[in-house]
Amino acid sequence: MKKILLFTLVLLQFLNGCVSSKKALNSGNYDQAIYKSVNKLRKNPDNSKEILVLERAFSRAQQNDFDRIAFMQKEGSPDKWDDIYNVYEQIKNRQAQVKALPVLVIKDKNKQILRNANFSFINVDDELLEAKQKAAQYFYTRGNTLLQKGGRFNARDAYADFQQVKNYYTTFQDVDDKLAAAQEAGTTKVLFKMQKDNPGQLPPSFEQELMKISLQELNRQWMRYYTSDVKGTTYDYNIVVNLKVIDVSPDLVKEKYYSESKKIKDGWEYMLDAKGNVMEDSLGNDIKQPKYKTIKCDVVETHFSKSARVAGTLDYIDNNSKQLMHTDNIAADSFFEDGVVVVLGGDVNALTPETKARIGKKPMPYPDPFGMLLQAGGTLKGMVKNLLFQNTAVFQ
């Protein structure tokens, strides 16, 4: 797609370059004709044909613009002052292009001077200044009206109007204060908080840790997230971590009885043929082979376990309508597992290395329930943050 767009732009530039100033003039593209003529006359001021094209294009472009201004002024609509200003600026820039050329003289075929080129330059500075002031005042007044109407979207439109004022004047009445007020009024404010059915089941620092989620990356021009309630702030939306399940299992102990066995070498024996005679190799020596026996060990494995779970929903609530806009299920677990092995009887050499390593091991103490909930909360925190990033389009 990018290659196609680039090719299209290059093609348009090429075609534009192929259009002569005279063709541009005849097709009514007067400013394009002026631009081309000016460029040619900078290189060759004696090109009389190009001077004639420039005269006609300049005259017609000027007439069209002044006619357009007269019509807009006759309409008397204050929203036209921005357009009027732009047209006056276009006139001023056009005149500046032509004024920058050396004195142009039209000659006949014999290089005899016929006359000087004729361009009617009009000073539009006063008109340009008037249009600038009235356009700025129009946008300032309209921005104020929108801001006073209230509502985030009116405030955003007001902000755009105040920015237009700034395009005209860096300082204009109290426009900077108005911009700040429109920015604040137009910003969607979202409060992230937690709600729980049974607070007593959670460690005191659980909510504090969960609310340490950094949401700065989600902030943009018209969107701001809060993780703590700021006094005096009205929030458009709430994102609520609604915990409905807060559970820690009891300390669990399970015993498992089993045996492990292994074949090991137990000396050697002679190899016998089908008749029961000792077999010999090619040199006449008796053939021996290893002898094996199976050893076994009986053990009891004691398994200790404990788990914690926090689960609920991540709810997106419109505070104006009090409606639930979107919800996601959330859940996180933490687990504790340990085990020891005690030999009941048999040969310990029959055990695998993993089983041997657990013989005589002291069991780890069961973790604190609050600690396990905090661990599950850390997992939940990462899950919630990912969902918040995925669902930014929910808000306006």
Pick from 105, 113, 102, 118: which is nearest to 47 by CA?
105
Q: Give the residue, 273 or 364, on which the prediction is more confident.
A: 364
Tokens 């593209």, residue located: 29
- Tokens encoding 333: 């677990």
The tens digit of pLDDT for each residue in 331-358 reads: 999 999 998 999 989 988 999 998 898 8
Asked if 108 and 49 touch (Cβ cutoff 8 Å), the reply is: no
pLDDT at 94 over 90: yes
- Tokens encoding 112: 């005899």
DSSP codes joined into one string, 41-60: HHH-TT-HHHHHHHHHHHHH
The tens digit of pLDDT for each residue in 169-183 reads: 999 999 999 999 999
**Pairwise CA distance, residues 186 & 163, whole Å:** 14
Question: Which of 7-16, 162-171, 261-270 is the least confident region?
Answer: 7-16
Beta bridge partner(s), residue 264: 293
Phi, psi for 382 (deg, rounded to 5): -65, -40
Mean pLDDT of the chain: 89
The tens digit of pLDDT for each residue in 97-116 reads: 999 999 998 988 888 888 89
Sequence spans of domains, the chain = 19-122, 136-186, 248-394
- Tokens encoding 198: 């049974």
Describe the chain by its helix, strand, coil percentages, rounded to 5.
45, 30, 25
- Tokens encoding 202: 């959670």
| AA letter at 314 | L
Beta bridge partner(s), residue 115: 106
Asked if 327 and 259 touch (Cβ cutoff 8 Å), the reply is: no
Read off the pLDDT of each residue in 124-140 and give the average, rounded to a whole number.
Answer: 96
State the pLDDT at residue 6: 47
**Pairwise CA distance, residues 296 & 355, whole Å:** 13
pLDDT at 2 over 50: no
pLDDT at 249 over 60: yes
- Report percent pLDDT > 90 for the chain: 60
Beta bridge partner(s), residue 289: 269
pTM score, whole prediction = 0.71
State the pLDDT at residue 360: 82
- Tokens encoding 232: 């005096």
